[in-house]
Amino acid sequence: MKKRSSLVAVLVVGIVLLFVASVGANSFKEAPMLAELVKKGELPPVEERLPVASDVMVEPDLMSVGKYGGSLVITSNDSGRWDWGPWVEQSMFRFKQDGSGQVEPNVAKAFYSNEDATVWTIELREGMRWSDGHPFTADDVVFYYDHMSTPALNPDRTPVPVDAEGYYPAYTSKPYNCYTVIKDGKTYWAEFNKIDDYTFTVTFAAPKPNFPEAVAVDNKWMFLPKHFYKNYVARKDGVTDDPTFPLITEEEALANANRDFGMQWDNYSTMSRSIGYYHWDYAIVPQLRSFIAVKNNWNRVGEVYELVRNPYFWKVDSDGNQLPYLDSIKVVIINDAEQTALKQAAGELDISPIRPADYATVVRPTQSTHSVVSWSTLDWQGAFGLALCQTAKDLDKRALFQDARFREALSIAVDRNLLNMTLMNGQSRPQQAAPSPGALGYDPEWLTKWTEYNVERANQLLDEITEPWDRKEGTYRKMKGTNRDVEIVISISDPSVEGNYITLLQSAYKAIGVKVLDKVDPEVMKSVLTNDVEAKFEGVSITSPAIRPDQIVPMRNFSGWYGAYGKWFEDGKTTANGGIEPTGDILELINAYEAIKAAAGPDRDQIVAENVAKIYELHKKNIWIIGFLAPLPRYWLVNNAVRNFPENVVWCDEYRFASMARAEQLWLDR
């Protein structure tokens, strides 16, 4: 690992030195709008806004060196932090565009480990600045980790139990497993140490050979501006000798945030999660991103949320032009998918994903102005998969949902060909939720398991696990030993997207005596965190459970299908805070994940491969998420004037979706 990471550092440094030699430290160029601000004395010269010449990041030109100017128009819904956020984010380490799963330096200049991967050294870029002009240093990383990212820790860096005196959660309310290792059955958090302003180390109690990949997936934004957040973070570590981090209480921090952000948060934990986790929503927060917000209207339907060029952005192209090329990205906030399709057909959007149902409607009228660009996916299913919460609070339903016969009945009771024609315009095909051809874990038997339409067998299976049902029209089965209908309440966030799916499942499941209800919940992911979701539509899209396990392994409070099992693991294997202890195959998933995490030494690759295979086998056996259709490629409608938009890139969560488009390199030829 040390040799590989050191080679990365050497190659990066070599490229930069060649660039400096050819361009020169005083040859950087900038956008005309920024040059005008420099001329007026409102902005420092470009050389003072970029890192020192030897540390500036040179982005390889995708297809061409660009021209400055113009605004790119995209769209998002009013929970669009997950849609527009990846377009502009910048991570400490990022995945390469080639789909290899390898990471490379980004915000970091270089990274490397010692021989046993217990100590990682990260080098930053000297002279790099936040969007407000304040220097970005190791202090920002160490402050974020020590005071915002970690929960309460014991002196040995094991977590304080949630039911113990002195416990407190992470400021962001979300602990990141990329910073933990398991040793002798205990979880230990890493220790961050500042070496100098542009170097820090991360030390683990046991080998952590996958640390860069884990960060690139789990906590890619492993930094926040200390000079800004010190006013909103209460001191909990007992240290009082740091004059740069004033000792303030939670009440004072909350009051400061409400005043400065113009909000009315009721408590410290709500505030801290909002500005500590979703910090990119707020224009007031300094960023390292390529484009920054100008006002906080990202969740207002009908408005345009504009992200403007960051004048302190720290990358240049091969000619020394400071990126980004675009003046701004304009995000049109639309909740209605049909309205989005109308704007696409009218040619009003420069880059936008095409829904399968809208393909012909959108592509035909725009064929002279726009092109279709295809990205591949790692999805296990097209459209949606049905996830039954294995820890549903209703114990009768929990027992039913945990019975594989019930899940099999639900799977084979659906006419997938009808779903395909209705939802996907016949563009897909029947498929179980499973890795597709070409993806890790691909298994043709798994793809077709429980996919043959067979209502009679579905009823036979249900006859074994419910009260007898006479199949009279308008009636439903009763749960075993009760007079209660067999009922599934599916939580949905957007009826315009998920409503048709609900209608089709209601019709299919009526034939087997299962009632389906929908519950509109715009904050459905928050409901998942409190185990208040019985069922939801869920997707799986992963490169490997060794890189991104949380969609298919209950290792954090995240996914609807495993519910409170994830809370149990995340809290240190305790039920004290609402977690539920797993058994059987769910526990086997966790054991396999822990074996992957603990793997080290010469047999590491074999141990990882064996346990990855075990995780896939357990999912094949249980089908915890019921899939119906095969995934389609990610189709983009792209204005012909847009340059440097890449083709054949992998669209997945690990790679942060649209982050792979490298928006800082996009430009408009018009």
Residue 420 is part of a domain; what is its CATH number?
3.10.105.10
pLDDT tens-place string over residues 410-431: 999 999 999 999 888 899 999 9
Phi, psi of 478 (to 5 degrees): -110, 140
Task: Examine the domain organization and report whether 322 and 425 are in the same domain.
Answer: no
The answer to whether position 262 is within a domain reads no
Task: Examine the domain organization and report whether 515 and 535 are in the same domain.
Answer: yes
pLDDT at 480 exceeding the cut of 90: yes
Count of residues in the chain: 670
pLDDT tens-place string over residues 257-282: 999 999 999 999 999 999 999 999 99
Task: Examine the domain organization and report whether 588 and 518 are in the same domain.
Answer: yes
Count: domains in the chain: 2
Whole-number percent of the chain with pLDDT over 70: 95
DSSP 354: P
Please report the pLDDT score of residue 239 as a whole number. Answer: 63
Taking alpha carbons only, the member of 451, 464, 462 closest to residue 420 is: 451
Q: What is the 3-state secondary structure (H, E, C) of 101-164?
A: CCEEECCCCEEEECCCCCEEEEECCCCCECCCCCECCHHHHHHHHHHHHCCCECCCCCECCCCC
Please report the pLDDT score of residue 83 as a whole number. Answer: 87
Which has the higher per-residue pLDDT, 67 or 526?
A: 67
Cis peptide before 324 (omega within 30 of 0): yes
CATH code for position 347: 3.40.190.10
Whole-number percent of the chain with pLDDT over 90: 80
Domain that holds residue 72: 61-89+289-379+632-670
Half-sphere exposure of 631 (CA within 13 A, CB side): 25
Please report the pLDDT score of residue 18 as a whole number. Answer: 47
- Residues 561-589: what's their mean pLDDT? 95
User: pLDDT band at residue 464, thresholds of 50, 70 and 90?
Assistant: very high
Task: Examine the domain organization and report whether 637 and 617 are in the same domain.
Answer: no
pLDDT tens-place string over residues 627-651: 999 999 999 999 999 999 999 899 9
pLDDT at 3 exceeding the cut of 60: no
Q: How far apart are CA 545 and CA 561, in angstroms?
A: 16
Task: Examine the domain organization and report whether 477 and 450 are in the same domain.
Answer: yes
Task: Examine the domain organization and report whether 400 and 513 are in the same domain.
Answer: yes
pLDDT at 17 exceeding the cut of 60: no
